[in-house]
């Protein structure tokens, strides 16, 4: 071999038993429904023209817009959601407020919801039925993809 050195022996890079390679994970395709605010709520649209490969438990996907969930999520990340009407306090979910959607940590409070960002520059948002015509939890974040 080059310069008289022996060719190195091939080594196998085995994953630990509790880690699966991406090719072993169960995936399926879900609609990417547009953007979700990680900041102030943005207009929610339900039309889509893109289908994405997602974890098996996901029902739909949204693209992150805004920085209120930074550093956990950044602009452009695709989050995968399981459609469900409620979450456990502290879980990250997407909430529809009137005709706008936002992604936050969700906590139940008397008369509504308290929405908390990861980014400390954003104040908690208390959403009550008295202040809004429509409040609905759309789903729980169950995964994400970040492109570098």
Concerning whether 68 is annotated as a catalytic residue, the answer is yes
Q: Which of 21, 26, 56, 68 is catalytic?
A: 68
- CA dist list (Å): 31 to 35, 95, 108, 121, 125: 12, 18, 29, 32, 28
Cα 136 from Cα 64, distance rounded (Å): 19
Q: Which of 21, 100, 104, 126 is catalytic?
A: 104
**Alpha helices (runs of H) in 39-112, residue ranges in sequence order:** none
Concerning whether 117 is annotated as a catalytic residue, the answer is no
The angle subtended at Cα 146 by Cα 106 and Cα 57, nearest 5°, is: 55
* Residues designated catalytic: 68, 104
């Amino acid at each position: 071999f080059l310069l008289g050195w022996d060719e190195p022996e091939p080594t196998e890079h085995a994953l630990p038993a509790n880690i699966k390679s991406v090719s072993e994970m169960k995936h399926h395709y879900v609609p990417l429904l547009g953007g979700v605010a990680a900041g102030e709520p943005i207009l929610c649209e339900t039309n889509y023209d893109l289908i994405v490969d997602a974890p098996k438990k996901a029902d739909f996907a949204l693209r992150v817009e805004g920085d209120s969930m930074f550093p956990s999520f950044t602009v452009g990340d695709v989050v995968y959601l399981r459609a469900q009407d409620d979450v456990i306090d502290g879980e990250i979910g997407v909430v529809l407020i009137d005709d706008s959607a936002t992604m936050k940590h969700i906590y139940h409070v008397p008369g509504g919801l308290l929405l908390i960002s990861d980014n400390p520059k954003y104040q908690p948002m208390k959403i009550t039925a008295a202040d809004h015509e429509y409040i609905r939890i759309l789903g729980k974040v169950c995964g994400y993809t970040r492109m570098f």
